[in-house]
Chain A
Amino acid sequence: MSTKKKRSPHTENSRWVVIAADSIVDVPKTDHGEPTFVRLRNPATGNASLYLFGSGDTDLYEVKAFTEDYHSWFIGQTVQRDGRLLYITPMDPLYLLLPYLQKSGAEGKFQPVEQVVKDEEFPGCTRLLSCTRSLKSLHHVAEEKEVGSLKFHRFSQEKTLDWLKKKVERTVGALRRSSISVGGGVKSSTYIRVKQEEQASDEDHLRYAHGLISEYISEDLSKDLLKHLHLPELSSPKQEPPAKKRKLSDGPVEAKDDYTKFNSSDFSRKPPKKMSAAQKSLAKVDKSGMKSMAAFFSPKVKQEKK
């Protein structure tokens, strides 16, 4: 009982709650090895993201997390503090190869991919080349040259954009099939729509699909793709930076109406009073119809005798 109060610090959880196809996890034990989680460079952000190589590195999967505040798991007879749900879904390895090809493409030379796909920070990236789809689909984004038995590639912007356009179009198809609302006014799919949404235009679908694909490519490429799709840039107001909170410790701020209260030199805004948890929960209680504490101590009003 004495250990109750001690809390392990917010460490990484030893357990994950994962949704994955059986075909990824239940693989017969072979020489190819088991599926492995690997950190690779995210093509959109350039930062590390978690991916999974299927056994034998023949397939690539991305790992996405569903995270929301105020969620926890009850697993068997235990509680897991983080309510994360991980999804393991198939991924086209070409998206991850693209940044490497693009980088070397700036040199304009044909090169063997093994030379191009190298990353000191993420050495696991070479395993991308073992994926069945990788070498077969390089021609979508690069020109090929064969010299003897050796293959050389050079990044091609036009080919890449055509390939991405096809991806967008296929995504549009998937969006339509799964009836995902893509209209401009849609803010959240969790709100229940009373009316069936009016037919979203082709452009809405295209724009939405472009946004989805942009999660997998660099920002520059995303912009080029927008042009390639003949979608005009939206004239929507630029995202305003989040309003900065005024720090309470900052000196007096210029007052709008009442200047007098700043005249005293020791003026400072009082921080809001801290309330204890019990006070907070009490403050939330509906007190209508209850006597105030003071009522018990005030002099009794003499009741008229009838």
Chain B
Amino acid sequence: MDLSQFEEDNTVSCRLSSPIPDICKTEDCCLGIDEAGRGPVLGPMVYGICFCPVSKKEDLKGLKVADSKTLTEEQRESLFKKLDEAKSFVGWTLQVLSPNTISTSMLQRTKYNLNALSHDAAIGLVQYALDSGVQLKEVFVDTVGPAEKYQDKLSQRFPGVEVTVRPKADSLFPIVSAASICAKVARDHAVKGWKFLEDLGEVDSDYGSGYPGDPKTKSWLLKYLDPVFGFPQFVRFSWSTAQTLLDSNALPVHWDDDEEDGEEEHQLQNISSYGAQAEHQLFINDTH
């Protein structure tokens, strides 16, 4: 898998795609959606779609794709190779959401939660397939949040496409398994080849699973915690694990949308300290 496009700038979100098989533009197609790297505090989250003609569903079963979680890394690699070799009828597209994208989305002034981010990534990928001429008839998705709500959302967004949202869809539908393999392989590669923007010297790559519960991950986070800047961009700042470590180990930083106790009183104090004579408007304007 060629991730060079993402590696060039791993601060943003990036879309990677296989060529669209011609057969997908003429025949009715099914499409599976899955994601990899939703939970870790480290690295990107990858959304993947895989699509093929409905008539070729059986061929896909022949590839023995299965839920990526039940496979070893080597098995996933070889299955992805097989998928790539089946490029005459199988296409895939990925959306790599960098940890920085996740951090800045979730921590911006108007909060953008992970579910919304996930839904939008999925919607964007389906739209991309439609825009590329894929004759979409069926979409299968592993659920994010309540299945029914998500199904309604997707159905409304894509009228004329039959949407099935099901928990564990990655083990029920081969096309979703295929998508999950693409996503997982991309995530593995992105994490392994991570180029740190920060000048950290030789980076210790022993961070364990990257999941918040992993003690190795936690000690890695502490090791690379800078009192002023916090973590490298490889870390999702919006994760409570990261926040908690920052709260206790980094210097306090106050933002103007912090809801600190006593903030109002502080402001009142400021105004009254201007003295008996109210300061002239021009000076006040200039400083606000």
Contacts and interface: CB of A to CB of B under 8 A. Distances in A.
Bound pair (A, B): yes
A285 B111 contact: yes
**Which interface class (under 10, 10 to 19, 20 to 34, 35 or more) fits A?**
35 or more
Interface residues of B, number: 44
Interface stretch (B88-96, B184-192, B267-275): B267-275
Contact of A286 (B116, B286, B287): B116
Interface stretch (A98-106, A123-131, A132-140, A275-283): A275-283
Interface centre among B116, B146, B268, B280 (most CB of A within 10 A): B280
A70 B112 contact: no
Interface in A29-61: 44-45, 47
A306 interface: no
Nearest to A64: B283
A215 B277 CA distance: 8
Contact of B251 (A7, A69, A208, A219): A7
A290 B249 contact: no
Given A188-B288, A215-B283, A280 B115 contact: no
Contacts of B115: 288-290
B272 A242 contact: yes
B132 interface: no
A242 B256 contact: no
B282 A278 contact: no
B61 interface: no
Contact of A211 (B106, B227, B228, B281): B281
Interface centre among A5, A70, A215, A285 (most CB of B within 10 A): A285
Nearest to B249: A4
B279 interface: yes
B244 A278 contact: yes
A280 B119 CA distance: 25
Q: Is the interface of A mostly helix, strand, loop or mixed?
A: loop
Contacts of A208: 281-282
Nearest to A274: B261
A70 B255 contact: yes
A69 B112 contact: no
Contacts of A289: 113, 115-116, 119, 144-146, 149-150
A91 interface: no
Given A44-B277, A190-B285, A284 B111 contact: yes
B259 A280 contact: yes
Given A67-B287, A290-B113, A239 B268 contact: no
B200 interface: no
Interface string B168-191: 000000000000000000000000
A189 interface: yes
Contacts of B261: 274
A270 interface: no
Given A212-B280, A215-B280, A284-B111, A66 B286 contact: yes
Contacts of B7: none
Contacts of B285: 188-190
A178 to B, nearest CB: 11
A19 to B, nearest CB: 13
Contact of A45 (B149, B256, B277, B287): B277
Contacts of B259: 280, 284
B156 interface: no
B4 interface: no
Contacts of B74: none
B277 A285 contact: no
10 contacts: A4-B250, A68-B287, A212-B282, A215-B280, A215-B283, A239-B278, A277-B243, A284-B259, A286-B113, A288-B113
Interface of A: 4-5, 7, 44-45, 47, 64, 66-70, 79, 180, 186, 188-190, 208, 211-212, 214-215, 219, 222, 239, 242, 245, 274, 277-278, 280-282, 284-291
